[in-house]
Amino acid sequence: MTQRAKIKIIKKRDLEKVKNAVKDETRTKQESARAVVSNVSTWVNEFQKRKRVETKQAIESMFPKSPQTDSA
């Protein structure tokens, strides 16, 4: 019940193709990682902006800009 490891044989003439394919794959991994980081950063910025607006509204409702004076 032991599984054999898969071995891929690469001939010398195909070696350059394999090296180039690995380099291309690496670039796409880096690009996709950058895209993910950019996407998450955008989410965080939107969340912080929304939170600031909500906090500002809450403070303004608790403390009005013009203080009410007692006219009595």
pLDDT tens figures, 11-46 = 777 777 777 776 666 668 888 899 999 999 999 999
Where in the sequence is the domain holding 50, given as residue range(s)?
16-59
Within a domain: 37: yes
Within a domain: 7: no
Q: Structural domain tally of the chain?
A: 1
Within a domain: 70: no
Q: Quick check: 34 and 42 in contact, CB under 8 A?
A: no
How far apart CA 72 and CA 68 sit, in angstroms, is: 12
**pLDDT tens per residue, range 49-70:** 999 999 999 998 988 777 667 6
